[in-house]
Amino acid sequence: MSVREKNNVVVAGSADRPTVLLAHGFGCDQNMWRLVTPILARRFRVVLFDHVGSGRSDVSAWSAERYGDLHAYAEDIVDICAELKLRDVVLVGHSVAATIAVLAANRAPEWFAKLVLVTPSPRYIDEGDYRGGFSHADIEELLDALEANYLGWSASMAPVIMGNPDRPELGAELTESFCRMDPDIAQVFARATFLSDNRADLRQVSAPTLILETAQDPIAPREVGRFVRDQIAGSELVTLDATGHCPQLSAPELTASAIEAFADQSSMSR
């Protein structure tokens, strides 16, 4: 099958404009970018896709052996760039896809002009002086609950992750997104997400990088944003006037504006 079919690749905007490639996080699909896409498409060629096992990707391409590691998702991003013959890509990754974006850029830096890491976390588990926001016991409890009752876990956790209790429709949307994912696939992706440690990969990033965090994030505390900034040479950390882990839904205009401004800082040609 083609990469377009495997990852349900969708393109918006004019082909003669700089390219922004949007990568979604765990339990989501490209629909999570729907509020920022039309804003970005006014000035950029926007490429969206679904990770294998998510959304309308070809689930037959998924296997626990291959996708038990975040590197496989990074390889898929590089394959998308190769098949579409993209150049000078601004790669935007949300949540765990921020780490996947780092891995992709380190694997094939020639494809990527810039990185935008939206609410990233290279390691969710606290270790020594590093604060990821969770103890090892917290994560094991989270994974046990997910594996015991994925739909129940989704209904309880998604509103927490979204972090905007005054806007319950946002939590409901994330819950629905989680519940669309096959529980067996979700279990494997969750372990790859929450047990990974990609802190060392940050120091290898050579592309100009923007880190977007929110003022209050229940999944990636502010200490994580500062850590990522300190590890990626020359990177810029911006705190959005927003709350929760998914600012592309809770504050789409702010998120799109920050991406647009960073992508426009220097001219790029395809």
Which residues 6+ apart lie within 8 Å of 163 measured at CB?
Answer: 214, 216, 217, 218, 243, 244, 245, 246, 250
Q: Residue 42 half-sphere exposure, CB side, CA atoms within 13 Å?
A: 9
Q: Give catalytic status of residue 266 as yes or no.
A: no
Tracing tokens 């270790």 back to the chain, one arrives at 127
Q: Give catalytic status of residue 95 as yes or no.
A: yes
Q: Are 119 and 246 in contact (CB under 8 A)?
A: yes
Q: Give catalytic status of residue 156 as yes or no.
A: no
User: What's the rounded Cα separation, in Å, for the pair 228 and 72?
Assistant: 22
Reduced DSSP (H G I as helix, E B as strand, rest coil) percent helix, strand, coil of the chain, to 5:
45, 15, 35
User: What's the rounded Cα separation, in Å, for the pair 123 and 132?
Assistant: 6
Q: Are 147 and 187 in contact (CB under 8 A)?
A: yes
User: What's the rounded Cα separation, in Å, for the pair 120 and 228?
Assistant: 8
Residue type (1 letter), 230: D
Structure tokens at 48: 């969206």
Structure tokens at 173: 């949307």
User: What's the rounded Cα separation, in Å, for the pair 253 and 218?
Assistant: 21
Catalytic pick among 95, 177, 196, 250: 95
Catalytic pick among 57, 154, 217, 250: 217
Q: Which amino acids are annotated catalytic?
A: 95, 217, 245
